[in-house]
Amino acid sequence: MTSAAVDYVAARCVDEVLAALADGETSVLAGGQSLVPEVTRPGSPPCRLVDINRVAEFDTLAETGGFLRVGPLVRHRTFESDAVGGALGDLLRVVVQQIGHPPIRARGTMLGSLAYAHPAAEWPAVAVTLDAQIVLEGVTGRRTVPAESFFTAPFTTARRPDELLVEARFPVLPEGTGIGYAEDRRNSIYPQAAAMATITVTDGVISAAALCLVNSGPSPVRARAAESALLGATLSDASISAAARIAAEQDTARLADDASRPKQRRAYQVLARRALSNARERVARCA
Tell me the pLDDT tens digit for each residue of 166-180: 999 999 999 999 999
Phi first, then psi, for residue 141 (nearest 5°) are 130, -170
Amino acid in the structure at residue 16: E
CATH 3.30.1950.10 describes domain 56-171: no
Cβ neighbours of residue 65 closer than 8 Å, sequence gap 6 or more: none
How far is residue 133 from each of residues 167, 190, 191, measured CA to CA in Å? 8, 24, 24
The whole-number pLDDT of residue 255 equals 64
Nearest residue to 169 (alpha-carbon basis) of 228, 102, 211, 110: 110
Least confident of 108-122, 131-145, 253-267: 253-267
- Compute the average pLDDT of residues 250-261: 65
The whole-number pLDDT of residue 263 equals 81
Calpha distance 60→205 (Å, rounded): 36
pLDDT confidence bin for 3, thresholds 50/70/90: low
Instruction: Break the chain into its structural domains and give their ranges.
Output: 6-51, 56-171, 177-286
Tell me the pLDDT tens digit for each residue of 204-251: 999 999 999 999 888 999 999 999 999 999 999 999 999 999 999 888
Tell me the pLDDT tens digit for each residue of 42-59: 877 888 999 999 999 999
> What's the angle, vertex CA 253, arms to CA 212 and CA 147, rounded to 5?
45
Q: What is the pTM of this model?
A: 0.94
The whole-number pLDDT of residue 119 equals 92
First to last CA, the chain: 62
Tell me the pLDDT tens digit for each residue of 147-205: 999 999 999 999 999 999 999 999 999 999 999 999 998 777 889 999 999 999 999 99
The CATH number of domain 177-286, selected from 3.30.390.50, 3.40.50.11540, 1.10.357.10, 2.60.40.10: 3.30.390.50
- Compute the average pLDDT of residues 16-20: 97
The CATH number of domain 6-51, selected from 1.10.287, 3.30.310, 1.20.1530, 3.30.43: 3.30.43
Q: What is the dihedral sign for C-alpha 240, 284, 128, 30?
A: negative
Calpha distance 183→181 (Å, rounded): 7
pLDDT confidence bin for 1, thresholds 50/70/90: very low
